[in-house]
Amino acid sequence: MSKAVRFIKKQTPYNEGEVAGFPEDLANRYIELGIAEVVSGDQLAEDASVQDAEYWKKKFNDLAAKTTTYYAEVSSSFAKMRVQNDDLRSRIADLNHDRDNLAARVAELEKELSEATSPKKK
């Protein structure tokens, strides 16, 4: 017959609070040494439901933390992209302005060249 025990002290490889099943003689030995206590089937079921609840609560909290971190990273990335977009729009506006100035200057130079090379009227 086997018996379930919960370790109340660390006993390698078991940590304090862990539950394990052993042959009755070995379980009784652990109990006598004061490193374990008997666990009933009802306690095991209760522990399982508590552990399940704790597990899912931890999973939920971990997911919530990851989601919050991800949201912050995405928001930060979008903010950087908006700044870069604004910088690019400003640079494009500057280049368009420079292009317009160059086109005007080319037109002036073409006019000067045309006047300088055209035959003079007497």
What's the whole-number mean pLDDT along residues 4-26? 87
Q: Which of 37-41, 58-62, 65-69, 99-103 has the lowest mean pLDDT?
A: 58-62
What's the whole-number mean pLDDT along residues 86-110? 95
Residue 84 has pLDDT above 70, yes or no: yes
pLDDT value for 68: 85
Q: Which residues are CB-contacts of 73 (< 8 A; sequence separation ≥ 6)? A: none
In the block, residue with structure tokens 């931890």? 58
Residue 110 has pLDDT above 70, yes or no: yes
Euclidean distance between CA atoms 67 and 73, whole angstroms: 10
pLDDT value for 122: 57
Q: What is the pTM of this model?
A: 0.41
Q: Are residues 44 and 18 in contact, defined by beta-carbon separation less than 8 angstroms?
A: no
Query: Average model confidence (pLDDT) for the chain?
Result: 86
Euclidean distance between CA atoms 73 and 77, whole angstroms: 6
